[in-house]
Amino acid sequence: MATQLRIPCTLMRGGTSRGPVFLASDLPADPTLRGEILLSVLGSGNELQINGLGGGNPLTSKVAIVGPSTHPRADVDYLFAQVKVIERIVDTSPNCGNMLSTVAPFAIEKGLVQGQIGRTRVVIHNVNTGQLIAATVLTPDGRPTYDGDTVIDGVPGSGAPVELEFLGVAGAKTGMLLPTGSAVDRIDDVEVSCIDAAMPLVVIEATALGKTGGELPADLDGDRSLMNRLERIRLEAGRRMGLGDVSGLVIPKPVLIGPPQKGGTLTARYFMPHSCHKAFAVTGAVGLGTACGTPGTLAHRLVGEASLPRSVTIEHPSGRIEVVIDRREGAATAAVLRTTKPILEGIAFAQIPDRPAPLAA
């Protein structure tokens, strides 16, 4: 037997990702019960997620949960959940910068933040990492507009810009920019840079694994020897970064880098972690851009010396993503431009197995 729940939600595209956005007050606070609801709503456990809103891909099996801020310097809280497609697992260890772009417009639409005439700046507290991000959206009449001329690679058409400024990106999850204490480590006989800036990453030169960094995602996914080796490196990197056993987590994320092929700063392939992203994650771009500006890392070695602020253009399978790295009062900040779009607003249905009543003592 199962109980069917009705939960208000808004299905939104955020950057190159998509998923339902919920008010925190419409979901239970208990992580286990909340996880069961999200697995049901997304339809996890089936490769097509045929019984839910998920699209059978990690990029379209994401959730944003938005509520009043619990941080004194923020306007709203944002909890991100990566809902696995096949495995019945909900991972709330990382942030997602693409779904982050849905938070400010959603918060204004739902009355959590008062929209201003012209532009509205919303400071977001990412509950997953404790990080603060300022999102600025266009609000001509006090409400968000989604139409505009901004184009981001990996998304058809154009939309209104969402400016995301990550405030103090270093040590988002581990508390340290270089969690191993070194800019370069050797794992599985390969040099790697373990960096934590918005997202814990394991940066690897593609040539060290016999690649260029410009391969198609499907070709990388189909190279089982490569994928197995990346996972061995990732697991050991997670241990050295102080994250413990990361076999059930999506962090740290492996990134292959190589010289630019189309006029950018560098080319890169980002893994989620068990398949290659068809574009590039925002938090991954922030992390890699920060690595480019951190002396001694493999990324810095590849792109060479440069003063801050600097614009880093990352070539990815769907085009490019640009991130501007700056340093204010000793803390690194990063800015990225995204677009977002509401797709559907209504009621999501979740089926939760009934739990037997406890036996009397």
Where are any strands of DSSP class E within the chain? 2-14, 17-23, 62-68, 76-83, 90-91, 118-126, 131-139, 162-167, 185-187, 190-197, 199-205, 253-258, 266-270, 310-316, 319-328, 331-338, 340-353
Per-residue pLDDT of the chain (361 residues; tens, 9 = 90+): 788 999 999 999 999 999 999 999 999 999 999 999 999 999 999 999 999 999 999 999 999 999 999 999 999 999 999 999 999 999 999 999 999 999 999 999 999 999 999 999 999 999 999 999 999 999 999 999 999 999 999 999 999 999 999 998 899 899 999 999 999 999 999 999 999 999 999 999 999 999 999 999 999 999 999 999 999 999 999 999 999 999 999 999 999 999 999 999 999 999 999 999 999 999 999 999 999 989 999 999 999 866 556 889 999 999 999 999 887 666 778 999 999 999 999 999 999 887 644 433 3
* pTM recorded for the entire structure: 0.87
Residue with tokens 């962090």: 251
| 251 close to 281: Cβ distance less than 8 angstroms | no
| 162 close to 136: Cβ distance less than 8 angstroms | yes
Distance linking the first and last C-alpha atoms of the chain: 25
Q: What is the β-pairing status of strands 253-258 and 266-270?
A: antiparallel
